[in-house]
Amino acid sequence: MHFLYIDHLVSCIHDARAIWSSGGDLDRALRSFDGDIVQAIQALKEANPSKDERLESELVKLQSSLKKCRRYCEEVSLGYPFQRAERQVADVLHIFYPSRPNPPELDQTETASAPPLEIQVGQASETFVLGPFQVPRLFNGFWQLSSPAWGAGSADSQDAALTQLLKAGFTAADMADHYGDAELVYGQFRNRLPAQVRSNVFAATKWCVFGPVGGGVTDEWVLGAVKERCRRLGGRVELLQFHWYDYEAKEYLDVLVKLVALTKTHPELVATIGLCNFDSAHTEEACEYLLSKTGAVGIVSNQIQFSVVDSRPLQKMCAVSAKYDLELLTYGSFVVWWLSFESLAKPTFA
């Protein structure tokens, strides 16, 4: 993958001394392009290419051009359109080249020094107990950041939306390691909150293993994965949800044992462990294995789909969850309800 065309466009903004108005056509186009850069870098992360000097050079050049564009925007009092892209490029450089000696001016992103946010957190109308936490029944999901098909929002608009949610009492957020820049977005937002507010928000993310584990399941490997989530979030993970690619590969059972152990040995990194998209049989298998190895279930939840259109969890999952005192965190429920009871009456859907 080559980033020269992206670098060329970003460089042209400074070189042409481009000017635009907030909310104008060019402003919207640049902010949309910001989202495209985020997705391109995410695709690069997931492709896991050879970490050669050519790729490093292209990424460093792109990062330098983004910094140059930011300084130009500051100079002429324009809103900087590439905050998310700058974060994402810095992140991939850290992942691919962790020992690279970065110049200080390339280390600091524009949002790293953003002013604190002053927010009064509202009270959720309904809450439930999840491990040691009292959380809203409705979480703010970040799945839409995994694809540009949902459109692109600027960093400022994302912060504004998250602020409104906190004011309404929606203090819990759910994301994943592969949802674009979701962890970076929420981490930057959370770390701009006052300490008394930051301690009351709840960050749930996921560690998704989509293929065979090459080097075996070791303490270092599991701890490294947890630390990576914390690095991107800029702090503790309140709920780390684990997804596994193949139930026939039984290493996932030992991974869960190690994850649960980390909530005791490293509570500053991760507070609770849950499952993600586990079926009934293997949820039970995991719970029984944890009981046999640790004397306790240790996990607190399983995130699955559940709606009036697809109610399969009623067959077995609800009973399994009740047996092991797990909470079901369900997705699709609200949207399908909305489609079923609100939108079907409209001509567009009818």
At 85, phi and psi to the nearest 5? -60, -40
Q: Are 37 and 6 in contact (CB under 8 A)?
A: yes
Domains, the chain, in order of start with CATH, read: 4-113 (no CATH), 127-343 (3.20.20.100)
Task: Examine the pLDDT at 3 and tell me if it is beyond 60.
Answer: yes
Q: Are 183 and 233 in contact (CB under 8 A)?
A: yes
Provide the whole-model pTM: 0.90
Instruction: Write the pLDDT tens digit of every residue in 91-144.
Output: 999 999 998 875 444 444 544 557 788 888 899 989 999 999 999 999 999 998
* Secondary structure letter of residue 111 according to DSSP: G
Judged by average pLDDT, the poorest of 36-45, 144-153, 331-340 is 331-340
Instruction: Write the pLDDT tens digit of every residue in 14-73.
Output: 999 999 999 999 999 999 999 999 999 999 999 989 999 999 999 999 999 999 999 999
Judged by average pLDDT, the poorest of 83-87, 122-126, 152-156, 320-324 is 152-156
Which of 346 and 200 is assigned the larger pLDDT? 200
The pLDDT of 178-191, averaged and rounded, is 95
By C-alpha distance, which of 293, 282, 236 is closest to 260?
293
Whose tokens are 């056509």? That residue is 25
Q: Using CA atoms, how far apart are residues 309 and 51, in angstroms rounded to an integer? A: 45
By C-alpha distance, which of 147, 175, 142 is closest to 158?
142
CA separation, residue 336 to residues 124, 155, 323 (Å): 22, 29, 28
At 304, phi and psi to the nearest 5? -145, 165
Judged by average pLDDT, the poorest of 96-110, 192-206, 327-341 is 96-110
Confidence category of residue 167, pLDDT binned at 50, 70, 90: very high
Taking the mean position of all CA atoms in its chain, how far away is CA 76? 33
- Residue 324 identity: Y
Q: Are 93 and 63 in contact (CB under 8 A)?
A: yes
The pLDDT of 71-83, averaged and rounded, is 96
Of the chain, the end-to-end C-alpha distance in Å amounts to 44
Taking the mean position of all CA atoms in its chain, how far away is CA 71? 28
SS3 state of residue 44:
helix
The pLDDT of 213-219, averaged and rounded, is 90
Put residue 96 in one of left, alpha, beta given phi > 0 → left and psi -120 to 50 → alpha.
alpha
pLDDT at position 314, please? 92
Confidence category of residue 324, pLDDT binned at 50, 70, 90: very high
Task: Examine the pLDDT at 266 and tell me if it is beyond 80.
Answer: yes
By C-alpha distance, which of 327, 191, 190 is closest to 272?
327
The partner residues of 330 in beta bridges, in order of sequence, read 304
pLDDT at position 335, please? 66
According to DSSP H, which parts of 48-181 are helical?
A: 53-75, 83-96, 104-107, 155-167
The pLDDT of 323-329, averaged and rounded, is 98
Average pLDDT, the chain: 90
What are the DSSP calls for 270-337, one per residue?
Answer: EEEEEEES--HHHHHHHHHHHHHHHSS--EEEEEEE--SS--GGGTTHHHHHHHTTPEEEEESHHHHH
pLDDT at position 106, please? 42
Supply 2's token pair.
Answer: 């080559």
Which of 152 and 80 is assigned the larger pLDDT? 80
The pLDDT of 226-231, averaged and rounded, is 97
Q: Are 263 and 274 in contact (CB under 8 A)?
A: no
* Secondary structure letter of residue 182 according to DSSP: H
Strands 237-244 and 202-209, how do they pair? Answer: parallel
